[in-house]
Structure 1
Amino acid sequence: MTKRLLPLLLLPALTCLAGNALAEKADRNKPMNIESDTLHHDELKQTSIFTGRVVMTKGTIVLRGERLEVTQDPEGYQSGVAVAAPGERAFFRQKRDSAPGQPEEFMEGEGETIVYDGRNDTVKFIRRAELRRYRGATLADEVSGSIITYNNLTDQFQVDGPKSSAGAPTPSSKAPRVRAVLVPKEQPAPAPAAPGPAPALRPSPAMGGEQ
């Protein structure tokens, strides 16, 4: 059985604030469409819980998991918490705004839990988290850690390693650490140098007929 998001949740979010947003700017204003096996909606709490092979799309955003809880605040901002099936990871992907003539860029990430905050336009990947940036079909940057928080508006991310029950970083050398591979952007090829002036003609000392 397939369930689609109720008209209530299809209302677009409020117009995003102007700024140096590098994510696809229109995504926050696009309707949220969701498919799943089951749906439980609570009109009073303004929440919808989707379970079973959940796929959410919102503009260029794609979010997949086994369970997705969607909420909408009084201002119309939509948020969601996606949880993967045991042993798997939820998936997130979004297109970036690209300068004219540049290849398309995509941000892609995975985690056992993914939290999408529509009001602040942030995505948090929790446990076995990975975040990747693609330029066209080429993998550019890649980071992994316990928790990754990515800000779509500022194009900044923070990566945290595992923490102890007290909240401090785990001191064990065997614990997985934050790892990152950051590839520099290709520089545009330099413009070809302008051709120099043609060499001046010199008079020949020999005239026609001379030996």
Structure 2
Amino acid sequence: MNRANASILALALLLASPLALAKSTDRNQPMDIESDSQSGVVTGDGTTVLSGNVVLTQGTLSINAARGEIIRSNGELSKAIFTGKQVKMRQQLDDGSWMDAAADRIEYDLLKETVVFIGNYTISSPRGSNSGQRMVYNTTTGGMQSGGDGSRVRTVIQPKSAAPQGKN
């Protein structure tokens, strides 16, 4: 592997790290959803619409949005979509630091295990930040892809001395 490829690989690993290190135990916690109103299905297939001051918490994960949709397919949760100007997301990382994200739309596909940040997104942690118009993040592999749609992507990588040093 040449130096340029090694640098690109290192950059890709650093960019993915804010989400890849999200608190691993959060998935096993109950999900609590509050909003001003909710309408839709509770069982079976369909969509539940959450309107007004939507707050979702699961372990250390917190999402605040103006509107949400919870989609059920084949009797299981399959997708969650949150919209607003802006949707705010916060989650503690396994090292004890925090990751903050904001976007006009956040789509979580539970079947594909992807999170898509759409519209003026910014993701930041003590390790650095990434911002642009669209990012797809695979929660299983830790892979991410942003840009490619003609828009610019901006990344800031903090020096090693500024990164978190173990659990706080």
TM-score, reference length from structure 1: 0.59
Report 1:19-168 matches (<5 A). Answer: 22-42=21-41, 43-74=43-74, 76-77=76-77, 79-84=79-84, 88-98=85-95, 104-134=96-126, 140-160=127-147, 163=149
TM-score, reference length from structure 2: 0.72
Cα distance in 2 for residues equivalent to 1:178 and 1:72: 33
Which structure: greater helix fraction?
Answer: 2
Cα distance in 2 for residues equivalent to 1:188 and 1:160: 27
Give the number of the structure whose alpha-carbon radius of gyration is greater. Answer: 1
Distance 1:154 1:105, change over 3 A: farther
2:4 match = none
Cα distance in 1 for residues equivalent to 2:29 and 2:133: 30
SS of the aligned residue for 2:158 comes to coil
Q: Deviations over 1:16-74 (max 9, x none)?
A: xxxxx633222223222111001002244243110001001122211111100012444
Are positions 1:177 and 2:152 aligned together?
Answer: yes
AA in 2 matched with 1:158: Q
AA in 1 matched with 2:111: R
- Aligned 8 A contact 1:28 1:118 in 2: no
Which fold has the larger relative contact order, with Cα–Cα distance below 8 Å and residues 6 or more apart in sequence? 2
AA in 2 matched with 1:90: V
RMSD over equivalenced CA pairs, Å: 2.6
Deviation at 1:77, TM superposition (A): 4.5
Which structure: greater strand fraction?
Answer: 2
Cα distance in 2 for residues equivalent to 1:34 and 1:60: 14
Cα distance in 2 for residues equivalent to 1:132 and 1:188: 13
Aligned residues: 144
Cα distance in 2 for residues equivalent to 1:57 and 1:67: 15
AA in 2 matched with 1:112: D
* Further displaced range: 68-77 or 35-44: 68-77
Deviation at 1:123, TM superposition (A): 1.8
Cα distance in 2 for residues equivalent to 1:28 and 1:74: 21
Structure 2: which 5+ residue stretches go unaligned? 1-19
AA in 1 matched with 2:25: A
